[in-house]
Amino acid sequence: MKALQYVKVGSAPEIREVPTPEPGPGQVRLKVTAAGACHSDSFVMGLSEDDYAAFGYPLPMTLGHEGAGIVDALGEGVAGVSVGDAVAVYGPWGCGRCYQCAQGKENYCERAGELGITPPGLGRDGSMAEYMLIDDPRFLVPLGDLDPVKNVALTDAGLTPYHAIRGSLGKLVPGSTAVVIGTGGLGHVAIQILRALTPATVIALDVSDEKLALASEVGAHHAFLSNDDAPDEIARAIGRPTVTAVFDFVAIQPTIDLGARLSGVESDVVLVGVGAGKTDVGMLARPYDATVRAPYWGSRPELMDVLQLARTGQVSVETETFSLDEAPEAYRRLHEGSLRGRAVIVP
Answer for the pair 47, 122: CB distance below 8 angstroms, yes or no.
no
98 binds, among Zn ion, ligand NAD, none (CB under 5 to 8 A by kind): Zn ion
Helix (H) or strand (E) holding 329: helix 327-336
Binding Zn ion (rule: CB under 5 A), the pick from 89, 109, 189, 246 is 109
**Binding partner of residue 337 among ligand NAD, Zn ion, none, CB under 5 to 8 Å per kind?**
ligand NAD
Single residue of 64, 185, 259, 347 touching ligand NAD by CB under 6 A: 185
| In the complex, residue closest to ligand NAD by CB | 184
- Using CB under 6 A as the binding rule, whether residue 206 contacts ligand NAD is answered as yes
Nearest to 344 by CA among 141, 147, 212: 147
Strand-strand pairing, 14-17 and 2-6? antiparallel
Site for ligand NAD in 273-332 (CB under 6 A): 273-275, 296-297
Of 133 and 246, which has the nearer Cβ to ligand NAD?
246
In this structure, how many other beta carbons lie within 10 angstroms of the beta carbon of residue 63?
Answer: 28
Q: Any idea what DSSP says for residue 155?
A: G
Q: Which of 169, 158, 135, 136 is nearest to 293 (CA)?
A: 169
Give the DSSP H or E segment for 73.
Answer: strand 66-74
Task: Look at residue 331 and give the partner it binds from ligand NAD, Zn ion, none, a contact being a CB closer than 5 to 8 Å depending on partner kind.
Answer: none
Which residue number, 16 or 111, has a Cβ lying nearer to Zn ion?
A: 111
311 residue type, one letter: R
| Site membership for Zn ion, residue 98 (CB under 5 A) | yes
The window from 25-33, 97-105, 177-185, 232-240 that contacts ligand NAD (CB under 6 A) reads: 177-185
CA angle 212, 217, 218 (to 5 degrees): 100
Q: Which stretch binds ligand NAD (CB under 6 A): 3-11, 71-79, 140-148, 205-213?
A: 205-213
Residue of 189, 150, 156 lying closest to 346 (CA atoms):
150
Collapsing DSSP to helix, strand or coil, 19 comes out as coil
Residue 101 binds which one of ligand NAD, Zn ion, none, with CB within 5 to 8 A depending on kind? Zn ion
Q: Which of the residues 132 through 161 are near ligand NAD (CB under 6 A)?
A: 156, 160
Contact flag: residue 117 with Zn ion (CB under 5 A): no
Phi-psi category of residue 282: left, alpha or beta, with phi > 0 → left and psi -120 to 50 → alpha: left
* Interaction residues for ligand NAD, span 62-121 (CB under 6 A): none
Instruction: Single out the residue of 96, 254, 264, 277 in contact with ligand NAD (rule: CB under 6 A).
Output: 254
Q: How far is the CB of 302 from ligand NAD (least distance, A)?
A: 12
Q: Measure CA 131 to chain center.
A: 22
Number of amino acids touching Zn ion (CB under 5 A):
9
What's the CA gap between 107 and 95, in Å, rounded? Answer: 10
Contacting positions for ligand NAD (CB under 6 A): 38-40, 43, 156, 160, 181-187, 205-208, 211, 226, 249-250, 254-255, 272-275, 296-297, 334, 337
